[in-house]
Amino acid sequence: MVTSMKGKHFLTLADFTREELEFMLDTAKMLKERYLAGERIIPILRGRHLALLFEKPSTRTRISFETAMLELGGDALYLNWRDLQLGRGETIEDTARVLSRYVDGIMARVYEHEKLVKLAQYSRVPVINGLSDLLHPAQALTDIYTIMEKKGTDLRKLKIVFVGDGRDNVLHSLMLGIGILGGKIIIASPEGYEPDPKVVKMFEETAAPNGGEYEIIRDPVEAVKGADVVYTDVWVSMGQESIKEKKIRDLSPYQVNKELMSYAKPDAIFMHCLPAHRGQEVTDEVIDGKWSVVWDQAENRKHVQKAILALLIP
Ligand code: CP
Ligand code: NVA
């Protein structure tokens, strides 16, 4: 039995039980089916306002949350961090106190994850993580939805491989989500690119008790052999520009190209949260090839973000 999640923050998937994550995924499926059947507006959040607060750029997160909120009958306000008094030094605490007296939910994208924690601490309304340096849970929940849509709901039957930076924010959330649901993720990364210890701790506390596992394999070919799902993300995330050259050098043996995909199962899918740096972490022939489900993955953001809003916004 899942009790109401109304009013809960969505900072990390580790704050949710397996049953709650399954309920969000089921809700997303129902909302997508109704949308595809022509029911474009399901006005359960009529009169509610969602603030979309961005310290970094966004295409998918901004547009999927904004359209999701409108299709649930509410409205959304795009707020650029620099345009608010935040940009002139008003504190996050005071901003959270004020903003949460105007709106019913705050989705925020920040550089340092700690800023989200602070926002949540001082907000009266749910704060939803729209990406931080540490985590990207709304993306990962959507990715799990897409994996289940394409490959079936029993994650334990699937070989899911993430190739690239083992400290990537999307990978961290995938690890937690897949793990809490009892599945396993294989991480193909070089030495020095292991998951952040904070995430490993969350994993040990929340995923491991459900049978969740992760394994690091250094050799990308070994890791991808027999894979059902091959996932990658950019090598240089937003905010990491100063270490760009080193990361590109270290991660270049981990490019997902046609040769690497030839070791996966013939019906394997290729996933990427986007935006992609074509020619770096993935080649055109893969992202535009038969394996790629990246556009469905992007489309699903709206349906899954809708489920998060419908279940969390009071
Ligand atoms: N995948 C993702 O979050 O994309 P945006 O940066 O465009 O929001
Ligand atoms: N890891 C990337 C994801 C972008 C959606 C970044 O943080 O820039």
pLDDT beyond 90 at 1: no
Every domain of the chain with CATH number 3.40.50.1370 lies at: 13-135+301-312, 139-297
Q: What pLDDT, on the 0 to 100 scale, is given for residue 89?
A: 95
- Under DSSP, the state recorded for 3 is P
Q: What percent of the chain has pLDDT over 90?
A: 99
Q: Which residue's CA is the closest to the ligand 2 atom numbered 1? A: 237
Nearest CA among 104, 187, 146 for reference residue 294: 146
Per residue in 205-229, pLDDT (tens digit) is 999 999 999 999 999 999 999 999 9
233 is catalytic: yes
pLDDT digits (tens, 9 = 90+) for 144-202: 999 999 999 999 999 999 999 999 999 999 999 999 999 999 999 999 999 999 999 99
The predicted model scores a pTM of 0.98
For this structure, is 273 an active site residue?
yes
Environment class of 140 (CB within 10 Å of its CB; exposed 0-12, middle 13-18, buried 19+): buried
Say yes or no: CB of residue 273 within 6 Å of ligand 2: yes
Specify the pLDDT at position 237.
Answer: 97
Which atom of ligand 2 lies nearest, measured to the CA of 168? 1
Q: Place domain 139-297 in its CATH homologous superfamily.
A: Aspartate/ornithine carbamoyltransferase (3.40.50.1370)
Q: How confident is the model at residue 67, as a pLDDT?
A: 98
| Ligand 1 atom, smallest distance to 63 CA | 8
**What is the position in ligand 1's atom list of the atom closest to the CA of 56?**
6
Distance in angstroms (rounded) separating the CA atoms of residues 146 and 53:
26
Instruction: Write the DSSP symbol of residue 73.
Output: T
Report pLDDT digits (tens) over 233-265: 999 999 999 999 999 999 999 999 999 999 999
CATH number of 13-135+301-312: 3.40.50.1370
Q: Whose CA is nearest to atom 3 of ligand 2?
A: 237
User: For position 32, what pLDDT does the model report?
Assistant: 98
Q: How far does the centroid of ligand 2 lie from the alpha carbon of residue 238, in Å? A: 6
Residue 109 in contact with ligand 1 by CB distance below 6 A: no
Q: Which amino acid is at 22?
A: E
Tell me: the pLDDT tens digits for 89-111? 999 999 999 999 999 999 999 99
- pLDDT of residue 2 exceeding 90, the answer is no
CA 154 to chain centre: 20
Band of residue 33 on the pLDDT scale cut at 50, 70, 90: very high
Tokens 């940009």 sit at which residue? Answer: 87
- Dihedral (CA of 150, 311, 53, 140) sign: negative
User: How do residues 35-84 score in pLDDT, each as one tens digit?
Assistant: 999 999 999 999 999 999 999 999 999 999 999 999 999 999 999 999 99
Ligand number with the minimum distance to the CA of 142? 1
